[in-house]
Chains A and B, each alone.
Chain A
Amino acid sequence: MKRFIPETRAVNVVKRFTCDELVELLTAYLEDVLDRPSHDGVRAHLSCCEHCERYFEQFRATIRVLGDQPPEKLPAGVRDRLMSAFRERHGG
């Protein structure tokens, strides 16, 4: 069965968001889980709202800083103990 879907309904639908709505959608936008009209709506809003664009930039800068934490390491003593435990378990 061939279904007729008017193409005009799928195109050119862009949701409009206020700034307070927009900032709540940024994670979903970055995760690419918004439906098409919402995704396009966020992009359209960001391209013409200086304040939201700045906020978005800061939001992304925050994510970058979070990913830039100094590496952690298990203390050598703990690591040694665990290696011995593993060895003992296997009769080494």
Chain B
Amino acid sequence: MGAFAGGRLPPDDVVVTALRAGDETMFAALLDTWSRGMLRVARSYVSTDPSAEEVVQDTWLAVIDGIDGFEGRSSIKTWVYRILVNTAKKRGMRESRTLPWSAFEADGVPFPDGVSFPDGGRWGEPGAAWPSPEGEALAAEVRALTAEALGRLPPRQRVVITMRDVEGYSSDEVCEILEISAANQRVLLHRARTAVRGWLADYYGSVKQAEQ
């Protein structure tokens, strides 16, 4: 990534001009900066790692072909990610892993075990405290569990939480890429976080029981 160490890319007009001129360093910088997030996002729609890699590859090929026609109506990153999401959706549909998005409109996640409010909106049995994440073994296990938890989320929630919390994209970016409202984005993010917290709580609960 040499020329752009630190992951900071130059402004869009510089990037686009360089790509059109065939600047390999610039193309390599984009590849290395965005592909990891793109892989994760692709995985929200398709079922295997090789599929996700193909989606990312096809996206970049479309970018190479289409850069001359890029009109700058969105940022270049949004443009690339929209191509990615469309490519991944199509592919996911073929794999019939992705249901029509409307099927997920009502995908509320029920509160997991240990969270209930029987008493006029107050806590019944509050969840147990979590152990502090000391110890590399526990941390690695929690990371693996979190990756698995992402895989269990409905696609719309998964793609939002992946962009926001795993890759650290802003709410504005996510809304623009997915073409959803800020409120909708927030609902999806909240449901996803709630579900992942619930699975982590179940896990910590089982660790604690095993220790006793």
Contact = CB atoms under 8 A, between A and B. Distances in A.
Interface of A: 18-21, 23-24, 26-28, 31, 33, 50-52, 54-55, 58-59, 61-63, 65-75, 78-79, 81-83, 85-87, 89-92
Contacts of B200: 58, 61-62, 65
A67 B39 contact: no
Contacts of A74: 31, 35-36, 39, 53, 56
Given A65-B200, A67-B165, 17 more contacts: A20-B117, A20-B122, A21-B121, A51-B126, A55-B127, A58-B127, A59-B197, A61-B200, A66-B166, A66-B196, A69-B40, A70-B143, A72-B40, A74-B56, A79-B31, A83-B24, A89-B22
B117 A87 contact: no
Interface of A is mostly: helix
Interface stretch (B9-17, B58-66, B70-78): B58-66
Nearest 9 pairs of A and B residues by beta carbon? A18-B121, A90-B22, A27-B190, A66-B165, A20-B117, A51-B126, A72-B36, A51-B123, A74-B35
Contact of A54 (B35, B39, B129): B129
A34 to B, nearest CB: 11
Contact of A92 (B22, B64, B196): B22
A24 B13 CA distance: 41
Contacts of B39: 72, 74
Nearest to B132: A61
9 contacts: A19-B122, A31-B186, A66-B165, A72-B35, A78-B56, A79-B31, A82-B31, A83-B28, A86-B24
B183 to A, nearest CB: 9
A82 B61 contact: yes
A58 B31 contact: no
Contacts of B122: 18-20
Interface string B172-212: 00000000001000100110011011001100000000000
Contacts of B182: 33
B143 A68 contact: yes
Contacts of A75: 53
